[in-house]
Every structure is written in C-alpha cells, then in structure tokens.
Structure 1
Amino acid sequence: MARNYSPTVRRRRLGTQLRRLREDAGYKLSDVGDALGWARAKVGRLETSELKTVKNGDLDALLRLYGVEDPAARESLHQLAREAKHKGWWWRYRDVFRGREPLPDFEAEASQIRTYEVATVPGLLQTPEYAEAVFRGGRYTSAEHIQRQVEARMERREILQRHEGQARLWAVIDEAALRRPIGSAEIMRTQFEYLLRIGQLPNIDIQVLPFAAGAHAALGRPFTILDFPESQDPTIVYTDSVGAGQFEEDTGEVAQYVATFSDVQGASLSTVASAQHIEGVLSEESE
C-alpha cells in the first residue's frame, strides 16, 4: 500500500461519511438496524470505525437505504473501504508499536504535526545512534529487539522527507532534552548536527524552550498534535505513557492542547535563535 495514507484514518473517514449520510436521510441508528435487519450496535460500530472490515454488500445496502445513487460518490466510499483493509508499514513492527492504533498509523496521513518534548529529542528528529541509546536506557531487552525499535523509529522519519505529501513539523524541544546526556558525547554531537541540518528543511521548524523561560503552560507534559488535510478528519492529540500512548479526540480537550502549544511556542526561542542555542550547546560539549 502507499506509505502516505493511513488505514485507520480512511476507516474513520468512511465512518464519518456514513454517519452524515444517515443523518441527512433522517434515520436513527435503530431505524437503520430495523430496515436492514441488523443489530443497532453494528451500525454504530461502522460509524465509529470499530469494524476494521466493511463488507461490500453491507456498504451497498447502506447506500441504497440512504439514497446514494451517484456512481462517483458510491465508488469513493467503496475506495475508502478497500483502503481501510490494508496494513501499513508499521504492521511489520507490531511487536514494537503499542496499542491497536499506533502513532505511525496517524502520522502517515498527517499534514501537520506539532510536538513538544521534555526529556529527549522528539522521535521524528532522532538519529539512529541517539535512538538506540534511548532504548538502551529503558528496561532490559535483547539487542535484536532494540535494533527493531531503532529501525521502526527511522521508518517513521520518512514522512518528513518523502517526495509527495510531506508532513509539516513544528517541534518545541525543552532545553532539558539538549542537556541530558544520552549515550556518548559523540552521539550527542551527531544528534545536534542532525538537528541543525534537518532544521533547514522548509517543512521543519525547530524551537528550543530555554530554562530561562521558567514555568510555562506545558511544564512536564510532552504531547503531539496531529492535523490532517481533509476537513472531515478531526485534529487529534497523542500523549505517551509508560503503558501505552493515549489519543485525545474530544474537541474541547484538543483545543486546550492547541492553546498550550501556542503558549510554549511563544515562550520558545525563534528558529534562528534556537539553531544558535543548539550550536552553543554543541560547542560546550566539544570543549
């Protein structure tokens, strides 16, 4: 499958469109269930994307009921259903990524990613050596598993440099992440040089939130906001935890994260000043 679309996002988009068609047709969930001889729960699961596979016959039955006769409109919905069945590249790393819907599933189709990181350089901006050192700092695991973790993290970076549909990344990095030694001095030097280099790409902005900023709105709370090119795909927020990542979709909660990111972005150094700050830390590490 194409690397620049997400089966989960397509499945959610299909569910959103089916719900809209049902509402426009004036049906309640129970009405659809009665008309098609389905359990009400089945209709709800289709609309909330809980069903990973939507049968052609079920989709055709819904479209007939909702009065969708335009061939192009019908084919568009069937195309979404087909794409939702595919597995993304991250499926190969299902032993690495946690959760039924891992972060790369959504990153694949995100048009804009805003991330704030406290303790480490954001995963999308890590070098292989730095990523390996991060994973070695966790719970003991085999060298083979750590290598798979590193490979998976490097695969994620593809969204920033692919030929079509590059994601826009705004990364705010707390100064603590730059000061914390991860691995050797050589690993840190290579990581800083990579940040300075990739930060010159037109679709990537890197800002440093300095210690001098003091207390701020996101103190100690890393998070990532993902926006999508289609207006019907709502903005979501990802927060990581020891057990597994969490996604927030409530519009009110998402709005608070968006406001918080704006606050920390405003308290951060500009992209130019941030690059100079990273150069300064790099010079200190080289002394």
Structure 2
Amino acid sequence: MQENNGMEGIAPLPPVRREPPTVRLRRLAAELRRLRQEAGLSQAEVAEKTDINLATLHRIETAKTKPQLRTLNALLDAYGATGSTRTDLIALQKAAKQRGWLHGIEANLRGQYSAYIALEAEAHEAVNYESLFIPGLLQTEDYARAVIRGVLPTDTEAEVEHRVTARMRRQALLESDTPLRLWAIMDQAALSRTVGSEAVMRAQFRHLIQQAQRPHITIQVIPFSAGSHPGMLGSFILLKFAMDSPDVIHIDSMAGDLFLEKEADLQRYNRICEHLRAMALSPADTAALIASLCGDH
C-alpha cells in the first residue's frame, strides 16, 4: 500500500525556466573577465579579496547570473575601474535584462572589446551574409585596409591601422584548436567591386580559395543570375553558441550595432539563411567562379 504523505491531488511544481542571457549581460560578463585579467587576478584571489563566493563569481563571469549592484561595485573596486568604464558597466548592470541593443553604452568602452567581438569570441559557429564586402574574417590585410579607408574616409591613418589590426586579430578564431565554424555567403557584387586595386583583389581571391579548402569554413556566392533574394535587404551575422545560450543576430549599420535576440527574429533570420544557402552556388561552383574572377584580374 502506498504511504499517504498528505500530498494527494497536488501537482508537482514545473521546473524553473532560466532566462537566457541577454547581449547586455554577456557584455557585462566579458568586460568583468577582461578587467580581472588586466588586474592580474585569478577568480580565487578576487573571491578572497572581495568576500564574493567563488561559485557566484564564476556565474557572473559566464553570464549565468546578473550581479547585484553592491557586488558589481566591489568587483570594480578590486579591479581599480574608474571614470567612464565604471559608469558604463553600472549602466549595463541596470539594463542587463533588456533584450536587443542599438549602439549606445558600449561606444564608450574600449573599441577592441566591443560587444560584437566579445560575442564572436564565445560563439562556436557564425553564418555571415555580405552583400557588398568580403566577410571580415576572410579578408586579407590589404583588402581590409582598402575597405576601411573607403568606408571611413575621415579616419586618421592611425585609426585605420588600429581597425585593420583588430580585424586581423579576430581571424585567430579560425586558427585555434577548436576553430569557429564559419559559413560565409556573399552576393556576387562583393566579388565584382574592385577594392584597393586589381592586385589586391587577385590576392583576396586566392585567399578565399585557400580558406574554402579548410573543413570548418564554407563559402558560397549568390550569382547575379539568381535574381532578387532575401539578402538584398542587408548584411548580417548569425552567431550560434554552445549549450543553452541562444543565437544572436548582429547587424552593422551607420546607425550603430543592432543585436536581435527575440525568438521571432531568430526564426526569421534562420529561414533567410536557408533561402540564401539554397539560392547560392555550391561551394565547389563558388570556388570555380572565384578562380575565374582571379584570372580576369
């Protein structure tokens, strides 16, 4: 006979559904990790210095939990963070649960630690569609320099070189022991526009052909003959993360960086990716097209 425990007719409580981290919370976590590392402190040393539980510190740095304001202030004190960096991170903490991000707070943080670069470094896969450029992770240094000079004509030479260096460093994600899986899709227009010079384009095409041979990189081109397609509305990058972290869409525009996190947006862009892959040339035919363009140049 089953023992009567006085709980008949009471349904068990549903499991608590943990809210996935927002871009803001991920950004805050990445900045706190960076500040700790720049201070030369281990997590254990910070825990001892601030009396913050080590497990809590780990959850904060992996965007599993939002730090309370007093906890954040204790961490910023330990890292010696002052001025605009401190102000911006406190603003991030207050807005950490809000989804989506159109430029704003991160503009005042160090450029090389922008929100997108921090997210890209944590992703395990990226689908990058470009309508006018070679994707940044596949650009040669000379092509990147020519693109940046053309797109940002008011930047100084030092600013251009800083951006080129940052772009080249990002490409280390493709060289690690567990490299980022990259699926790059381009409109043929990105290949047809001469950027820099014909010599720059020839080198860029050869680089694309070499990169396409790597098992973690897939390159496709949507030919002019395909006609109109969903990518004509603009370029975007779909970042995919391991475990239970949701995808993020990044759109770079003159108005700033736009991050899309809502489920409806993610579903829409995943469908767009499927359409673009279907309309593009196969990877083999893409390589043949690029090789023919290399000969033309």
For the criterion TM > 0.5, the same-fold answer is: yes
Q: Is the aligned partner of 1:202 residue 2:215? A: yes
For 1:49 and 1:106, the matched residues in 2 are separated by 8
Superposition RMSD on alpha carbons, in Å? Answer: 3.3
Shift of 1:190: 0.5
For 1:105 and 1:185, the matched residues in 2 are separated by 34
Q: Is the aligned partner of 1:148 residue 2:127? A: no
Which residue of structure 1 aligns with residue 10 of structure 2? none
For 1:193 and 1:130, the matched residues in 2 are separated by 12
Shift of 1:220: 3.5
Closer/same/farther in 2, CA of residues 59 and 213 from structure 1, 3 Å limit: farther
For 2:60 and 2:145, the matched residues in 1 are separated by 38
Do the aligned partners of 1:206 and 1:274 also contact (CA within 8 Å) in 2? yes
Q: Which runs of 5+ in 1 are unaligned?
A: 1-22, 27-44, 61-73
Q: Which runs of 5+ in 2 are unaligned?
A: 1-13, 34-45, 64-74, 82-105
Which residue of structure 2 aligns with residue 245 of structure 1? 257
Q: Is the aligned partner of 1:278 residue 2:296? A: no
Q: Is the aligned partner of 1:228 residue 2:241? A: yes
Closer/same/farther in 2, CA of residues 78 and 213 from structure 1, 3 Å limit: same
For 2:227 and 2:154, the matched residues in 1 are separated by 35
For 1:169 and 1:51, the matched residues in 2 are separated by 25
Q: 2:172 is aligned with what amino acid?
A: E
Give the aligned length.
Answer: 223
3-state SS of the aligned residue for 1:120?
A: coil
Q: 1:135 is aligned with what amino acid?
A: I
Which residue of structure 2 aligns with residue 168 of structure 1? 181
1:267 to 259, 279, 283: 279
Which residue of structure 2 aligns with residue 124 of structure 1? 137
Shift of 1:139: 2.5
Moved more, 239-248 or 266-275: 239-248
1:190 to 203, 210, 213: 203
Shift of 1:81: 2.5
3-state SS of the aligned residue for 2:250?
A: strand
Which residue of structure 1 aligns with residue 102 of structure 2? none
1:92-127: CA deviations, max 9, x gaps? x95545xx8521111101111001000110111100
Q: 2:173 is aligned with what amino acid?
A: I
Moved more, 191-200 or 50-59: 50-59
Q: Is the aligned partner of 1:80 residue 2:59? A: yes
Do the aligned partners of 1:115 and 1:223 also contact (CA within 8 Å) in 2? yes
How high is the TM-score relative to the length of structure 2? 0.67
How high is the TM-score relative to the length of structure 1? 0.69
1:225-245: CA deviations, max 9, x gaps? 000012x21011001101311
For 2:200 and 2:27, the matched residues in 1 are separated by 43
Do the aligned partners of 1:96 and 1:148 also contact (CA within 8 Å) in 2? no
For 1:173 and 1:226, the matched residues in 2 are separated by 17
Pairing of 1:99-138 with structure 2 (within 5 A): 101-137=114-150, 138=152
Q: 1:214 is aligned with what amino acid?
A: G
For 1:194 and 1:151, the matched residues in 2 are separated by 18
